[in-house]
Amino acid sequence: MTDIQSSSGSGLDEAQMQMQPPPPGTFVDREELIQHVGDFAVSQGYVVTIKQSKRERVVVLGCDRGGVYRNRKKADEETSAERKRRKRSGSRLTNCPFEAVGKKDDGLWVLTIKNGTHNHEPLKDITEHPSARRFSESEIVLIKEMTEAGLKPRQILKRLRQSNPELLSTPKHVYNVKAKLRQGNMTVRNFKSLRPEKSAGRDKHLSIAEPSWRQRYPMRVPNFIGGRLVNSQSFASIDVINPATQQVVSQVPLTTNEEFRAAVFAAKRAFPQWRDTPITTRQRIMFKFQELIRRDIDKLAMSITTEHGKTLKDAHGDVLRGLEVVEHACGLASLQIGEFVSNISSGIDTYSIREPLGVCAGICPFEFPAMIPLWIFPIAVTCGNTFILKPSEKDPGASVMLAELAMEAGLPNGVLNIVHGTNEIINGICDDDDIKAISFVGPNAVGAYVYARASAKGKRTQSNIGAKNHAVIMPDASVGATINALVAAGFGGAGQKCMALNMAVFVGGLGPWEEKLVEHAKALKVTSGTEPDAELGPVISKQEKERIITLIQTGVESGAKLVLDGRNIVVAGYENGNFIGPTILSDVTVNMECYKEDIFGPVLLCMQADSIEEAINIVNGNKYSNGASIFTTSGVAARKFQTEVEVGQVGINVPISVPLPFSSFISAKPSFAGDVSFDGKAGIQFYTQVKTVTQQWRDLVSDDSSSHQLPSS
């Protein structure tokens, strides 16, 4: 008898030994900690439950033994003592000493194991546990919608299993959910430990279920930290306003310092594994990412138009130009090839390799809500870095959608993170020691500040700032093509783009061009960007509209001629919109405030020059040096302009446009601050560092003690 008991006890101890406690660690938030413990528990054959929780400070997790449904039917000839014993052994809540504690410390959650032992055997089949039959929140929403559509429980289950083949629920469980729904109860207990969320969170069968953050009005835009959408705990927020209607589209939280640190922690934690991921695997994720962007391009464009105001056609262009960078990232492996020199000395080789920097960050402006984020983070992450993105607080929707698509494409948790905010977040990005490089696009003052502050911390920084792009029109230029180019490049996107042609220098005078220029500008259809015939939408905010109008007025007061006035335009159906019609000022001089400042609106400033030399001097004398174009039929004039003009981008008979990703975006100083520019080969150089390796392999059998001489300079 003693031997049998000893053997039985030994078997139980051995089973208990198989159930290991989860490894301690640090986590972005409470939910991630619980997910970690729950996933590990399932792999060991037990299920965790929340025993105690003070949501913002501590959570205590215990073992939910489970696996046995209580038989409530009284057995024949069962004594009272036997019934109590059976009831006690059949309960899911039989105490187990296992206990794990998560505590919040300096914004992050730290897991410790208080007691890692169990007093029961592991579950042989985790599906025996009752919690395996619970529905997720999204499935509850789908059950409600399919019930309202007239589907029966078995039909509902069949459709749910198309997206979740592991679903164990029965029609009876669906009936129970329907009963709760009739009572108005939409809550559901969801044990994430049993059904962990997949990277591709969006499924074609679940597309009708919107994320919870999109279901409230106004939407509160979440941060994206550690692979999950995380609602900010900040009480402060900024309204995102539809510039055509003045309706509140959403609210952007001012991310707390703790949440920012959590995002940096998630990126730093993800870096070692992502760095070691083969470049071919990273490229495959980019292939899938570009496919998903194409799939959802209409949704992205509508989000951009709603928040920014640009026309749907311009919004599609915004996405497509960013998509070109993603496509470029799909072939990044060949551009990261290093160099190899064999036998620099007897038996010694040397080679160089490119390695990622670590955690990088991007700060984006409002004018291109999709293109500029796609300029920077696809190249950065494909090079092996992890990333913190701060979108503009004026139109953040596209960035969050892109992050969701990146996760669906298979980007691992923590590789891409998004935080919202203004000055405090920018300062945090500049000051955080774990962030190694920063890409910035935006206004002059902010760009200069970011470059100075980040550089002082020893970070790599690229800062693309002010723009004042000139078009030089020679007397021999093609009239029709030139007028079309000036109108499209000067007023497209309501002039709110860094490559807009907002300065026209007419060599020989404006006279021959003025009438046709005004005629074409007046013909532009000004209305909400969502209208199918829209050609010119509103500017992004009331403040921007007032600033632009003020600059127009200062130009008139300084002696400029108002050839076309769009300040008082009223758009039917959108009377409250931030609309400014096409505006043309002539006789502008370099001393006027409207010329010195970047108007960033649908305003074309016209100047006159007596010669091409004078026109080139005007361009070179301006403090902004993004780009300039010349319109002419003379190859000699074009070549002279190309050689002598001091800008980063030159157009000949074409407006200034952002170059394709394989030829980097270049701006001359002071419109650019930094050593290496955006995308293309320059982008790869910015997001990687070169490491040189010198190696020697000796024959261990014939170990020669003689020293090797390396070449000396």
Q: Which residues are catalytic?
A: 498
Strand partners, 463: 440, 673
Q: How far apart are CA 35 and CA 38, in angstroms?
A: 5
Q: How far is CA 672 from CA 406, 463, 497, 523, 678, in A?
A: 29, 6, 15, 35, 10
* Sign of the dihedral through C-alpha 447, 451, 452, 454: positive
Q: How far is CA 271 from CA 20, 382, 454, in A?
A: 27, 12, 21
Q: How many CB atoms neighbour CB 705 within 10 A?
A: 4
One-letter amino acid for residue 448 of the chain? A
Q: Which two tokens stand for residue 212?
A: 């919870």
One-letter amino acid for residue 362 of the chain? G
Contacts 24+ apart (CB under 8 A), 541-549: 541/241, 541/243, 541/394, 541/578, 542/578, 544/496, 544/578, 544/600, 544/601, 545/578, 545/579, 545/580, 545/601, 548/580, 548/599, 548/600, 548/601, 548/603, 549/580
User: Are residues 304 and 316 in contact, defined by beta-carbon separation less than 8 angstroms?
Assistant: no
**What's the residue count for the chain?**
713
Residue written as token pair 């995102």: 240
Q: Which two tokens stand for residue 132?
A: 């395996």
Q: How far is CA 337 from the centre of its chain?
A: 27
Q: How far is CA 186 from the centre of its chain?
A: 31
H/E stretch holding 328 reads helix 312-329
Q: Got the DSSP string for 546-581?
A: HHHHHHHHHHHHTT-EEEE--TT---TT-TTS----
Per-residue three-class SS string for 460-526: EEEEECCCCEEEEECCCCCHHHHHHHHHHHHHHHHHCCCCCEEEEEEECCCHHHHHHHHHHHHCCCE
User: Are residues 396 and 540 in contact, defined by beta-carbon separation less than 8 angstroms?
Assistant: no
Q: How far is CA 393 from the centre of its chain?
A: 13
H/E stretch holding 318 reads helix 312-329
Q: How far is CA 660 from CA 492, 666, 667, in A?
A: 20, 11, 15
297: left (phi over 0), alpha (psi -120 to 50) or beta: alpha
